[in-house]
């Protein structure tokens, strides 16, 4: 049995009936100084090239912080392994790679949507786009 039509969040914003306590959590990201984020020593070779390619952008967006460097280094190792032989990776390896990439906002717009400066709520008034 169907329960009915799900409410539309855009209409709740326009009507003023949106409940912020029930809205999805949107976290604000603050970029850190790039010199604070150090590449772990185990990131070498191809993985270092992957780090050098992706780390500056992730730091600038605020996704990569000093406490996340080790996890990002692991992601770089997996991405380097994928670049070397994509056909040899198992489905579980690909799934794990995707999860780690999502943590750093690298999978697509949906992975950045819960962060303010990473693609989430940019406007101060969320109903402004409907009232203009």
Domain boundaries, the chain: 31-123
Tens-digit pLDDT profile for residues 41-86: 999 999 999 999 999 988 888 888 899 999 999 999 999 999 999 8
Q: Is the pLDDT of residue 40 over 80?
A: yes
Written as six digits, the tokens of 116 are 């303010």
Q: Which of 99, 79, 75 is nearest to 89 (CA)?
A: 79
Q: What is the pLDDT of residue 120?
A: 43
Tens-digit pLDDT profile for residues 95-124: 989 988 988 888 877 777 766 654 444 445
């Amino acid at each position: 049995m169907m329960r009915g039509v799900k409410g539309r969040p855009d209409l709740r914003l326009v009507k003023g009936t949106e409940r912020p306590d029930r809205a999805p959590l949107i976290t604000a990201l603050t970029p850190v100084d790039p010199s604070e984020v150090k590449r772990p020593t185990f990131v070498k070779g191809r993985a270092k090239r992957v780090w050098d390619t992706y780390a500056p952008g992730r730091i600038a967006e605020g996704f990569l912080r000093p406490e996340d460097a080790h996890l990002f280094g692991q992601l770089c190792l997996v991405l380097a392994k994928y670049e070397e032989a994509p056909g040899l990776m198992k489905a579980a390896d690909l799934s794990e790679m995707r999860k780690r990439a999502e943590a750093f906002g690298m999978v697509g717009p949906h992975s950045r949507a819960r962060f303010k400066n990473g693609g989430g709520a940019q406007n101060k008034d969320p109903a402004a786009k409907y009232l203009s």
